[in-house]
Amino acid sequence: MKSILRENLFDVTVIFLSLLVGAGSSWVLSNSTLIYQLAGIQKSNSNVIGEIDSIQKDVRRRAQKSILWQPINRKETIFEGDSVFTGSESQATIALDSGDSLSLSPNSVVIVETEDGKINLDLQIGSVVARLGRNQSLNIRQNNEVVKVKSSGANSTINITKDKKKISLQSIEGKAQLTSKGKILQLSKSTLVEVTKNEPIKESLIQLDLEGPSKNEEVWLSNKDPLTFVWKGETKVQKAQLQASRKSDFSDKFFEKSITVKTHRTSGNLQPGSYWWKIVDNKGNTLSETETFIVVSKSGPKLLYPMKDESLFPEQTEPTPDGFSIDFYWKRNKFAKTYQLDISTEENFSANVRSLKVADPQSTQKLDANKYYWRVRSIGRTQQLGHWSEVNSFEVGKPAEDIPLVIEPPVIETPVVETPAPKPEPVRKVASKPKKIIPFKTPLINPIRSIKKQVKTPEALLKESLPVAISWESDKRSNGYKIQISRNDDFSSILDEQIVTDSSVKVALKDNGRYYIRVTAFKDKKRSQGPMSPVETFDLNKYFFLNIPRMITNPGKDVKVV
């Protein structure tokens, strides 16, 4: 009897929970406002205030009532109350309908609104350069206070920096008037004004002009290359200090050196990433403006294909008049504008068959049957030259004979995204095995809520890569496989290409979005390729496996950056 009652109770519980889930799902689907918030979709009645004029690297935008950050591209519309953030190596410029503009430095988060033609700027962290038209006004929120800036008579350019405690303002070009805490001050290139909550406004005289590196300049360095800081001007301060930091608020100084001359040369070992630097006196008072620069590694790209000592046997039975088509792939350098590809019949490259510049990390060249050597180096936006990659040799052989063995196209199984393992606790314990989760086709709404998440900053989130396991049906007759991953359905740009012996591979993917996969099997030891598999796709959205940072998830009226 008790067993029957327990079974009935279990059935009733299951039915009740099913009805509850169904009712909740119906409510969510019928609540358009909630769907808009989850998906980050702007309604048509939102006020347009401008557009993205320029962009560098990965920049994100979040709608006023959304909980999701979405990638944003050049010429995309900015709406009233939108939040925009840049990562550690990203920059963006917002062109406002008023004719003014806002340029965001790396590691910045802003919320932009307008009222009666005036710009309301909530700079949560980082640095912004505001270009204001004649007699245009800008309101900057500082906790519960408002700092008002108005250009004086002509166009002006104001540099605004925000850390946890204060806002610093300086006019880079032209003059402007600042109003805060009942005081009216004049902004100029020679004056730095600092506004701190519950403290008087502080004015500092800019005595030194930082010449370089500056203005988000990309500095290409090797691991041991020194970097020279240069400034000009005179100061009566006897003990001045040069400070450099990986953070805009200088809370974590990379180095702090006493200076007596107008240059300083580092000892090297600057890791890639963004840096801020300035000169202060021994009491911390500012003697210069703050400048930024980005260190870029000069290391050569990783060569992907042809691999070292690889023998290539083209599928075509007869070469064209120019030779056989050979594909070259290497790893992308996000700071490279172009690449230089050298192909030679001599290991010292004294007899180059090809030496050309290409925009993408791939190229197809016509080559005769012979042994070749190849290498690649990156070229920056202002023609900075990176180091050469390692040298790979390969051989182009005669066309493969017809082989009776025919391998069917591999069937790719559903890719599996693995959640990153949580960081270990101070007490050493055996780490649990990461869960495997099948990614959803729709990246905006994920019904799974039981995944353990970890807090990530915007910088860490942009740099985080997730391992994705890809497998396919094996064929015992094959001599290995070649897998290609692309962001384009026509595979015009190959993101990753690997040659493996097993019927599975694990790749680390960084960016959200849709990926395309295809696989081919080798028919013999000469790596003659069989037919390509059908193309498979999957969607990756890291925000379902990692937490959105607190400082950018709730930009309410009285938000505080902690």
3-state secondary structure 391-403: CEEEEECCCCCCC
pLDDT tens column, 324-350:
889 999 999 988 999 999 999 999 999
Identify which of 191, 188, 185, 187 has the alpha carbon closest to the alpha carbon of residue 207. 191
Residue 73 Cα to chain centre, angstroms: 13
Give domain 416-550's CATH architecture: Sandwich (2.60)
pLDDT > 70? residue 546: no
Q: What is the pLDDT of residue 215?
A: 81
Q: What is the pLDDT of residue 40?
A: 47
Q: What is the pLDDT of residue 328?
A: 95
| Position with higher pLDDT, 426 vs 243 | 243
| Dihedral Cα 90, 91, 95, 100, nearest 10 deg | 150
| Position with higher pLDDT, 443 vs 16 | 16
Helix, strand, or coil here: 120?
A: strand
pLDDT > 90? residue 392: yes
Are residues 560 and 143 in contact, defined by beta-carbon separation less than 8 angstroms? yes
Q: Which residue has the tokens 């959105």?
A: 548
Q: What is the pLDDT of residue 418?
A: 53
Give domain 39-205's CATH architecture: Sandwich (2.60)
Are residues 505 and 496 in contact, defined by beta-carbon separation less than 8 angstroms? no
| Position with higher pLDDT, 275 vs 35 | 275
Counting residues of the chain whose pLDDT is more than 90, the rounded percentage is 19
The two structure tokens encoding residue 286? 């500012």
In sign, the C-alpha dihedral spanning 151, 157, 129, 94 is positive
pLDDT tens column, 7-22:
555 565 656 666 665 6
The two structure tokens encoding residue 154? 């002509």
Mean pLDDT highest for which of 39-43, 309-313, 520-524? 309-313
pLDDT tens column, 470-491:
888 777 667 788 889 999 888 8
Give domain 209-297's CATH architecture: Sandwich (2.60)
pLDDT tens column, 69-122:
899 888 899 998 999 999 877 889 999 988 899 999 888 999 988 877 778 889
How confident is the prediction for the chain on average, in pLDDT?
77
Is 303-396 CATH 2.60.40.10? yes
The residue ranges of every structural domain in the chain are 39-205, 209-297, 303-396, 416-550
pLDDT tens column, 33-79:
444 444 444 544 468 989 999 888 889 999 887 888 899 888 899 99
Residue 538 Cα to chain centre, angstroms: 21
The backbone torsions φ and ψ at residue 458, rounded to the nearest 5 degrees and listed phi first, read -55, -40
Amino acid present at 54: S
> What is the pTM for the complete model shown?
0.56
Binning pLDDT at 50, 70 and 90, where does residue 461 land? Answer: low
Min mean pLDDT across 31-40, 259-268, 303-312, 538-547 is at: 31-40
| Position with higher pLDDT, 112 vs 442 | 112
Domain 209-297 shares a fold with domain 303-396: yes
User: Would you give the end-to-end CA distance of the chain in angstroms?
Assistant: 59
| Burial annotation 235-261 (CB, 10 A radius, 16+ → b, else e) | eeeeebbbbbbbbbbbeeebeeeeeee
Q: What is the pLDDT of residue 283?
A: 80
